[in-house]
């Protein structure tokens, strides 16, 4: 099964490169050999993965989701935050400890080796039929060698890595708050094509029944059997009352590297017969209990609500409070997300608040200890430009927008996006520098960046700038004038067009900017991965007279590289290497930025250290973290950011 998964990944990656990115990573002979090997393995095992290239997927569109009553109710679990309670729960019995996946519980039914039905948990009694979407889950076998009726439960999830990519492509007004919300919205779509493109995975955690099969009394053995049929099963370990606390800590140490969202752990007795003998309460089964991380809470005082204006005009509220220590780091600010949450928390300056790190990672406000009525002002004017604001309804509630299209904050963000690494990749133009240039009138829109030489005397006299800094900046701008079309399209900041969509757009219109500008919505919606919203956004952008004027202005300075020209020259030293990134970063804004750089050079970033890892990047190279220990065990070099830059970027 592992070989089949490896073949599916390689073949799909090769097909994507060939058809969407106009490059070849496998010769025809190599592709055919791997394809034939996959066909042979599918015939031998009777297993076929949903995303196998041997399958021609036909997408299904429904008018509504059918309600279905579960054969047996799916109950919630009782909860604890104390490891001592887990030990007393087990007493002298063996148990299974696993991730409590933060997705959408789904019940699958197979007949004659084929997926027949997939039902969401719903309210536990009645769920919705999502079979059309389950058939396109990225890792779900649609054919298995077992021919009797098989029923199992698991979790539909979307990995963090896919979540960030999808949110970037959706645009700010349509983004989801977390992977669980995105997964829930995706698997309940009426059009299965959406689920196919969003990398939904199914992780099995319970075998319910298997017609004609002698089921083991051990749940662990049954999970191994499900794995042998081709299902991904939840990570789990066997525990006793003596070992459970130590295993909880082992799971805790893996949170940072886990690509699947989790909101705790689940402990269940391994023996099915013993579990059944316990029965259930009105609300909970007695054989299982959920362990929730005891979030480290801190009380502090709210000092300020800061509003940050993005390049689309969205104004995000950020709570500023007295610094506190949480999970080993100092925290003094937390996003409040939108106007609705600000109102729900009833925030006022001076309130005593409780803060924590959601899933031990993201700073959040847990509750307001003193506020009864919110007096936090929703600004009527943008703090940057003074333009009027308005509250708009979005997917996750109300949000505040600056309505002034010429807002300097929006311009700064737009310019910062234009010069960013995946866009024009101009070094030396930080957000702070762009802000100064904007204030002094050196730049108003992105084409002005190519005319900065006109302001040499003023720039070299600025604080932080001298002759050398100025020359480095101009050299970086000159280098950026030779640009690949997808990066330039991405740099324009068209709503819903991330770098991936820019690449798809260019590949489908022969890397011809004129053809892209003239494309109709009907033509754009035919691009694989595009829908009506993306097509409309692109079409509307190139109909705007102001956009066309700026584009014409900029093009006089640029040399657009064709794919074959971009491929010339030395191969990136990152090509073919696998990295793991952990810990705080200093030279990069976040891990996503570093990951994008590595992937652009042909490298790969994964979440955990394995034998396939080439380098671990961690500024604390002497850390005793689980990743450092694993790297040391496997003899994998640990690089600081400076080591990485010196080795691969100079």
Q: What is the DSSP string of 586-620?
A: SSSSSHHHHHHHHHHTT-EEESS--TT--EEE-S-
List of residues 6+ apart from 488 with CB closer than 8 A: 423, 424, 558, 560
The DSSP output letter for 455 is G
Rg (CA), the chain: 27
Give me the phi and psi of 153, to 5 degrees please: -120, 150
Instruction: Say which residues have a Cβ less than 8 Å from residue 545's Cβ, sequence separation at least 6.
Output: none
Question: Which pLDDT score is estimated for 596?
Answer: 78
Which DSSP state fits 447? G
* Tokens of residue 552, six digits: 């014409």
Q: Which residues contact residue 524 at a Cβ distance below 8 angstroms, ignoring those fewer than 6 apart?
A: 505, 530, 534, 535, 538, 539
Q: Which residues of the chain fall below pLDDT 50?
A: 19-22, 569-570
Compute the residue count for the chain.
Answer: 650
User: How far apart are the C-alpha atoms of 229 and 252, rounded to whole Å?
Assistant: 29
- pLDDT, position 387: 85
Q: What is the pLDDT of residues 343-361, one digit of tens each?
A: 888 988 999 999 987 766 6
Sequence-distant (≥ 6) Cβ neighbours of residue 643 within 8 angstroms: none
For 453, the token pair is: 């030489």
- 551: number of CA atoms within 13 Å, CB side? 21
Q: Which of 305, 315, 307 is nearest to 349 (CA)?
A: 305
- Rounded Cα distance, 11 and 364, in Å: 42
State the maximum Cα–Cα separation within the chain, in Å, rounded to a whole number: 85
Q: Would you give the DSSP letter of residue 572?
A: P
Catalytic positions are 100
Q: Taking each helix axis as running N to C, give the angle between helix 499-508 and helix 2-20, from 0 to 180 degrees, rounded to the nearest 10.
A: 60
Please enumerate, as own/partner, the contacts of 530-539 that have beta carbons within 8 Å and a separation of 24 or more: 530/501, 530/504, 530/505, 531/194, 533/174, 533/496, 534/169, 534/496, 534/497, 534/501, 537/171, 537/494, 537/495, 537/496, 537/497, 538/494, 538/496, 538/497, 538/505
Tokens of 331: 């925290």
Residue 567 to residue 220: CA distance in whole angstroms: 50
User: How far, CA to CA in Å, does 174 sit from each of 154, 163, 190, 497?
Assistant: 28, 13, 18, 13
Give the dihedral sign, CA 462/467/470/474. positive
Q: For tokens 């299974």, what's the residue? A: 96
- Taking the model in full, what pTM does it have? 0.56
User: CA distances (Å), 395 to each of 168, 363, 401, 519, 536, in order?
Assistant: 15, 22, 15, 29, 19
For residue 565, what pLDDT is reported?
56
pLDDT of residue 570: 47
Q: Which residues contact 572 (CB under 8 A, 6 or more apart)?
A: 600, 601, 602, 603
Please tell me whether residue 64 adopts helix, strand or coil conformation.
Answer: coil
pLDDT reported for residue 607: 76
Residue 115: what are its φ and ψ, rounded to 5°? Answer: -60, 120
Identify the DSSP state of 121. -
Which residue carries 């080993």 as its tokens? 328
Strand partners, 105: 155
CA 412 remoteness from chain centre: 25
Helices (H), 48-198: 83-90, 131-134, 160-170, 179-187, 192-197
Instruction: Using DSSP, state whether 464 is helix, strand or coil.
Output: coil
3-state SS string over 483-509? EEHHHHHHHCCCCCCCHHHHHHHHHHC
Residue 92 φ/ψ, nearest 5 degrees: -100, 15
β-strand 150-157 against 104-111: which pairing, if any? antiparallel
pLDDT at 290: 92
Say whether 245 sits in a helix, a strand or coil: helix
Query: How many Å apart are CA 247 and CA 291, to the nearest integer?
Result: 12
């Amino acid at each position: 099964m592992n070989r089949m998964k490896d073949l599916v990944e390689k073949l799909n990656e090769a097909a994507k490169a060939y058809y969407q990115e106009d490059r070849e990573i496998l010769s025809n002979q190599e592709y055919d050999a791997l394809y034939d090997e996959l066909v042979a393995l599918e015939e031998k095992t009777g297993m076929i993965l949903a995303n196998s290239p041997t399958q021609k997927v036909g997408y299904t569109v429904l008018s509504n989701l059918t309600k279905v009553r579960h054969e047996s109710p799916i109950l919630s679990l009782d909860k604890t935050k104390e490891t001592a309670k887990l030990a007393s729960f087990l007493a002298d019995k063996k148990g299974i400890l696993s991730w409590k996946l933060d997705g959408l519980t789904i019940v699958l039914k197979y007949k004659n080796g084929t997926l027949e039905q997939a039902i969401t948990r719903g309210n536990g009694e009645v769920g919705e039929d999502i079979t059309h979407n389950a058939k396109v889950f990225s890792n779900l076998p649609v054919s298995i060698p077992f021919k009797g009726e098989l029923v199992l439960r698991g979790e539909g999830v979307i990995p963090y890595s896919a979540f960030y990519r999808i949110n970037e492509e959706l645009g700010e007004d349509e983004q989801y708050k977390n992977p669980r919300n995105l997964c829930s919205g995706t698997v309940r779509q009426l059009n299965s094509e959406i689920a196919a493109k969003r990398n939904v995975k199914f992780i099995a955690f319970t075998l319910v029944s298997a017609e004609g099969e002698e089921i083991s009394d051990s749940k662990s053995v049954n999970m191994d059997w499900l794995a042998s049929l081709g299902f991904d099963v939840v990570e789990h370990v066997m525990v006793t009352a003596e070992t459970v606390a130590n295993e909880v800590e082992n799971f805790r140490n893996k949170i940072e590297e886990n690509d699947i969202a989790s909101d705790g752990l689940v402990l269940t007795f391994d023996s099915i017969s013993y579990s059944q003998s316990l029965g259930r309460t009105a609300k909970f089964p007695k054989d299982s209990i959920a362990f929730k991380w005891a979030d480290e809470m801190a009380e502090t005082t709210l000092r300020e609500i800061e509003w940050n204006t993005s390049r689309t005009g969205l104004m995000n509220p950020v709570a500023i409070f007295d610094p506190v220590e949480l999970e080993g780091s100092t925290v003094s600010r937390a996003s409040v997300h939108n106007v609705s949450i600000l109102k729900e928390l009833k925030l006022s300056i001076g309130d005593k608040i409780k803060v924590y790190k959601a899933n031990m990672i993201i700073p959040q406000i847990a509750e307001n200890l003193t506020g009864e009525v919110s007096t936090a002002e929703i600004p009527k004017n943008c703090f940057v430009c003074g333009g009027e604001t308005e509250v708009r309804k979005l997917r996750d509630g109300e949000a505040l927008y600056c309505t002034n299209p010429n807002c300097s904050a929006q311009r700064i963000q737009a310019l910062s996006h234009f010069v960013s690494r995946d866009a024009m990749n101009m070094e030396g133009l930080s957000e702070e520098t762009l802000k100064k240039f904007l204030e002094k009138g050196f730049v108003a829109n992105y084409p002005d960046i190519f005319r900065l030489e006109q302001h040499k005397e003023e720039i070299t006299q600025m604080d932080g700038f001298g002759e050398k800094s100025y020359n480095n900046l101009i050299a970086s701008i000159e280098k950026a004038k030779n640009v690949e079309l997808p990066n330039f399209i991405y740099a324009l900041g068209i709503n819903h067009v991330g770098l991936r969509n820019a690449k798809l757009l260019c590949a489908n219109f022969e890397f011809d900017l004129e053809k892209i500008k003239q494309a109709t919505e009907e033509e754009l919606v035919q691009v694989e991965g595009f829908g009506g919203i993306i097509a409309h956004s692109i079409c509307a952008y190139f109909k705007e007279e102001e956009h066309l004027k700026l584009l014409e202005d900029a093009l006089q300075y640029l040399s657009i590289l064709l794919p074959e020209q971009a491929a010339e020259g030395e191969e990136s030293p990152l090509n073919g290497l696998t990295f793991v990134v952990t810990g705080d970063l200093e030279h990069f804004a976040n891990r996503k930025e570093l990951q994008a750089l590595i992937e652009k050079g042909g490298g790969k970033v994964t979440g955990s250290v394995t034998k396939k890892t080439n380098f671990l990047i961690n500024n604390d190279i002497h850390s005793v973290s689980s990743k450092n220990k694993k790297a040391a065990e496997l003899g994998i070099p640990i690089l600081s950011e400076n080591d990485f830059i010196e080795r691969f970027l100079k």
